[in-house]
Structure 1
Amino acid sequence: MATEQDAVQKEAKTDSELEDMILQRLLIGGVFVSVRRDPILGWRPTVVTAPKHTRNAQELADKIAADLRKKFTLKE
């Protein structure tokens, strides 16, 4: 049975590094993502601009961030 002590240490990344990782996975041109600290989740992406035809860019960014949060924390 795993305990908290057995938990894998997450790698700290800068906001710019996390933004780039999200953008690479979004595969949508013309999108700008900003990563900010979040008191509950640790960090959260916000899609600042996106092409008009991309209505679900924020939803996709949130799903990608949920996956990335398993491995990475936001550097102080």
Structure 2
Amino acid sequence: MRNFLVVLEFILALGLMVVVLMQPSKADGLKGFITGGSETFFSKNKSRTKEAVLSRLTVITAILLALNILALNIVK
């Protein structure tokens, strides 16, 4: 059981790193200042964008990693 949890932790940690690195940068530079932050199609439908999916996936992976760490400490 312990070996399974250790392998799962390794996979979850790698998955979390990949998901975090896939997220786009939040720094717009002068783009938001010049355009005035106008509303676009993507800002109206933000829950369906790639950024929102990656954000949700990051939270889910982080929660699973935390639960796996707790399980490893209990099995110890």
Give the TM-score band, short-chain normalised: 0.3 to 0.5
Which has a greater percent of strand? Answer: 1
Which has a greater percent of helix? Answer: 2
Q: Indicate the structure (1 or 2) with the bigger Cα radius of gyration.
A: 2
